[in-house]
């Protein structure tokens, strides 16, 4: 059994790691920490966890993070916190999967510009492997430090990658209009995510300035080999989970929906967690992948306006965070990539 420590287990992504690992046959959570809820059972915060919630949260201690007690450490903490913890962990020999944004950028000046936060572990930024398995599987296998991608980024990059890689669209002017459930904002109590504020509402926020924007551009450039410029417009929507991203790009040559769909099917033929659905009948919806580690993708050509439209949907806490982190764990540990991550979502 792989021994797992989770730092920040009381937050949504931390608790989701506990939930998903309770379904994993080869991993075992040996430590789950929380600053705010140390001493409480995780199940008191998340009753739906059932037996998986019996674990008692504790304050982070050095022992928890030592490779003597844990083989892999998941950091489910706000950005800035990983910068503090990671250097010591990596030095001690632990494998680290970081769910924050701290190590997602090769160029730390990009991090500093968009996160408005100094990067204090620049020497590690170059060693971190970007943990999007569909694009960087081989590098992930040998990594010591994995930067787990952002939720929006996973959705947008998977939906645009075939178009960028093949150069079918004008990569200099891509527009992404994305919609996220409230759990994307974390468990923090705030006015913005009060029921009275969110119910029957759609709230655009951080239009043009969301910190996931440069991460999308960097990933698509690394994997697709082309400079990409994205105008990103996220929205908070009345759902607990789910991301729906819709990307618009100008087609450089005439294409049809059927042609683009075949292209996507070729790209993702062997991917266990990317399902290409035929548009328009099978267009992904926000709720379509909730509860699963899948990313559903469709592509359309609006032939009248020469525009490609790529739609993707995923569960922001699973394929957009904790499920993907376990997919990375499986790669790291030489296990089957899908282990513990299949299984259907609830509908309705």
Residues recognised as catalytic: 151
Q: How far apart are CA 177 and CA 192, in angstroms?
A: 20
* C-beta closer to a second copy: residue 142 or 348: 348
- Strands in 307-314's sheet, in edge-to-edge order, are 203-204, 230-236, 174-180, 243-250, 307-314, 295-302, 274-276
Q: 198 vs 70, 257, 290, CA distance in Å? A: 40, 35, 19
Query: What spatial distance separates the first Cα and last Cα of the chain, rounded to whole Å?
Result: 35
Query: How distant is the alpha carbon of residue 235 from its chain centre?
Result: 17
* C-beta closer to a second copy: residue 95 or 277: 277
Tell me: does residue 282 bind a second copy (CB under 8 A). yes
Contacts for 281 with CB less than 8 Å, ≥ 6 apart:
none
Asked if residues 32 and 58 have their Cβ atoms less than 8 Å apart, the reply is yes
Rounded to a whole number of angstroms, the CA Rg of the chain reads 19
When binding is defined by CB under 8 A, the residue of 8, 11, 14, 53 that contacts a second copy is 53
Q: Which of residues 306-335 bind a second copy (CB under 8 A)?
A: 307, 309, 311
Task: Return the range that interacts with a second copy (CB under 8 A); candidates 44-52, 66-74, 150-158, 262-270.
Answer: 44-52
Angle between the N-to-C axes of helices 108-115 and 213-224, in degrees from 0 to 180, rounded to the nearest 10: 150
Task: Return the range that interacts with a second copy (CB under 8 A); candidates 27-35, 91-99, 158-166, 245-253.
Answer: 245-253
Tell me: does residue 305 bind a second copy (CB under 8 A). yes
Task: Return the range that interacts with a second copy (CB under 8 A); candidates 97-105, 115-123, 128-136, 189-197.
Answer: 189-197
When binding is defined by CB under 8 A, the residue of 104, 212, 241, 319 that contacts a second copy is 241
Tell me: does residue 230 bind a second copy (CB under 8 A). yes
When binding is defined by CB under 8 A, the residue of 291, 333, 335, 339 that contacts a second copy is 291
When binding is defined by CB under 8 A, the residue of 56, 60, 283, 333 that contacts a second copy is 283
**Min dist. Cβ of residue 267 to a second copy (A):** 19
Tell me: does residue 182 bind a second copy (CB under 8 A). yes
């Amino acid at each position: 059994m792989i021994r797992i420590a989770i730092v920040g287990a009381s937050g949504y992504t931390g608790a989701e790691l506990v939930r998903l690992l309770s379904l994993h046959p080869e991993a075992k959570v040996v430590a789950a920490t929380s600053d705010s809820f140390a001493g409480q059972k995780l199940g008191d915060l998340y009753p739906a966890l059932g037996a998986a919630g019996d674990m008692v949260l504790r304050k982070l201690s050095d022992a928890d993070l030592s490779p003597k007690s844990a083989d892999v450490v998941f950091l489910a903490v706000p950005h800035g916190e990983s910068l503090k913890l990671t250097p010591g962990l990596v030095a001690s020999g632990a494998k680290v999967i970081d769910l924050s944004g701290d190590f997602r950028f090769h160029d730390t000046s990009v991090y500093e510009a968009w996160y408005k936060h100094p990067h204090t572990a620049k020497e590690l930024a170059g060693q971190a492997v970007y943990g999007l398995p569909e694009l960087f599987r081989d590098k992930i296998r040998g990594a010591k430090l994995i930067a787990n991608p952002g939720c929006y980024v996973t959705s947008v990059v998977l939906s645009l990658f075939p178009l960028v890689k093949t150069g079918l669209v004008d990569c200099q002017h891509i527009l992404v209009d994305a919609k996220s459930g409230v759990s994307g904002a974390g468990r923090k109590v705030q006015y913005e995510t009060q029921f009275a504020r969110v119910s029957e509402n759609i709230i655009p926020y951080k239009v043009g300035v969301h910190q996931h924007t440069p991460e999308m551009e960097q990933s698509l450039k690394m994997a697709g080999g082309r400079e990409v410029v994205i105008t990103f417009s996220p929205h908070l929507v009345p759902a607990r989970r789910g991301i729906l991203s819709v990307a618009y790009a100008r087609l450089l040559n005439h294409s049809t929906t059927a042609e683009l769909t075949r292209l996507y099917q070729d790209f993702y033929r062997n991917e266990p967690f990317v399902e290409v659905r035929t548009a328009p009948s099978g267009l992904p919806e926000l709720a379509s992948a909730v509860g699963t580690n899948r990313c559903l993708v469709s592509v359309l050509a609006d032939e009248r306006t020469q525009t490609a439209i790529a739609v993707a949907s995923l569960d922001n806490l699973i394929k957009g965070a904790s499920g993907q982190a376990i997919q990375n764990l499986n790669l790291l540990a030489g296990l089957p990539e899908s282990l513990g991550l299949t299984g259907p979502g609830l509908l309705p």
